[in-house]
Amino acid sequence: MAAKRRILFITGTRADFGKLKPLMRAVEASPDMECHIFVTGMHLLARYGYTYRQVEREGFTNVFTAMNQMGGEAMDLVLANTVQALGKHVAEDAPDMIVVHGDRLETLAGAIVGAFRNILVAHVEGGERSGTIDEMIRHSVTKLAHLHFVANDEARGRLLQMGEHPDTVFVIGSPDIDIMLSPDLPSLDAVRERYDIAFPQYAVALYHPVTTEPATQAERAQAFASALLDSGREFVVISPNNDAGSEHIHKAYETLKDNARFRLFPSMRFEFFLRLMQNARFIIGNSSAGIREAPIYGVRTINVGSRQKGRFLHDSIHNVPETHAAMLGAIQQCWDMESCSPCYHFGQGNSVELFMRHLGEQQVWSLSKQKHFQDICGTKLG
């Protein structure tokens, strides 16, 4: 009997775990594969609710944890710590493939380790555009990865433009849409009860630091919090990620505590967050959730500042400057607006099926670890 192929998923945040979980479950259920999960990053920080516990509660068999930071370290040092910890792990666990997602530093660490150790690297949701350092990380991972599972043809086109071979780029949609369109999400009443949210109507606030604009991060965070306060509306506020500058956002949120119009959470279970967002008046901030997930439900987004610059445009997405006046005006305008029609630009909810179909193809496993740049239209340079 042939040995099962070991697929190692890297997760560093609540968000990427939610997106990768349906793929993990499919691999776990496969008779030909083993699902292994390397848990690090925000998952192991108290400030963000020790979300590694959520991974463990999901019942996966092979879960490994490694702390890569204590909180507050520079991102390059956290990257180095992650590479070291993951390198030691794969030396012992010997995966056949490393699966990474998106644009986090843990994603880059997984791609580095895989490329250096001749392990196939599969990148989920590459080829996207955005602001801040995320885009540089995402495209760096593309050049290190051997296989690419992208959300749409637009993303695929960018990877071909970057010199990736067409036979290694697969359009599968975004895996979290499989969950979003599932009939198994908790009810809104269950979400309200679990998180003690009594507001009849509410909006969701999810705001992250912009690492390429550090000089004004404190001022912009205060403007964001003040706009929420001055609106007179009710908000569910979820803590930012742990990128450089997040301390300014946490400080700004101190003004929201003990205010009856706000419920603040360090984190939220992914399925519960989805149901909460689906029933919100809108989502405000600079999270990719407002660009990628909210339009699927027709929920409006107030996207502030430059963090998602260059990303998908849709009628439901209102891009506004990161000023108090602009954000406050957008809140008042959007609160009473009707929802939009659903948008499926990032997938139809069949990502798991397509992902597993490709993993079942022999050409994936016989792919050379040595990559070569593919010139566009056969053009030879130099």
Classify strands 5-11 and 33-39 as parallel, antiparallel or unpaired.
parallel
CA dist., res. 14 & res. 231, Å (int): 29
Q: Point out the residues of the chain with pLDDT beneath 50.
A: 381-382
CATH architecture for segment(s) 188-335:
3-Layer(aba) Sandwich (3.40)
What DSSP element (H or E) covers 318?
A: strand 317-320
CA dist., res. 105 & res. 180, Å (int): 26
The pLDDT, as a whole number, for residue 1 is 58
**Is the distance from CB of 301 to CB of 222 less than 8 angstroms?**
no
Q: Do domains 5-180+349-378 and 188-335 have the same CATH topology?
A: yes
**Is the distance from CB of 301 to CB of 294 less than 8 angstroms?**
yes
Domain boundaries, the chain: 5-180+349-378, 188-335
**Is the distance from CB of 135 to CB of 44 less than 8 angstroms?**
no
CA dist., res. 268 & res. 276, Å (int): 10
**Is the distance from CB of 155 to CB of 134 less than 8 angstroms?**
no
The pLDDT, as a whole number, for residue 378 is 57
CA dist., res. 51 & res. 57, Å (int): 10
Close Cβ partners of 141 (under 8 Å, ≥ 6 residues apart) = 100, 103, 107, 108, 111, 123, 126
pTM: 0.89
Classify strands 262-265 and 147-150 as parallel, antiparallel or unpaired.
unpaired
**Is the distance from CB of 58 to CB of 31 less than 8 angstroms?**
no
Instruction: Kindly report the CATH class assigned to 5-180+349-378.
Output: alpha beta
Helix axes 217-231, 246-253, angle to 10 degrees: 30
The pLDDT, as a whole number, for residue 72 is 83
**Is the distance from CB of 126 to CB of 142 less than 8 angstroms?**
yes
Matching residue, tokens 């791609």: 111
Strands of 169-171's sheet, edge to edge? 62-65, 33-39, 5-11, 97-101, 120-124, 147-150, 169-171
Phi, psi for 199 (deg, rounded to 5): -60, 130
The pLDDT, as a whole number, for residue 382 is 47
Q: What's the distance, CA 380 to chain centroid?
A: 36
CA dist., res. 302 & res. 318, Å (int): 5
Matching residue, tokens 């340079």: 381
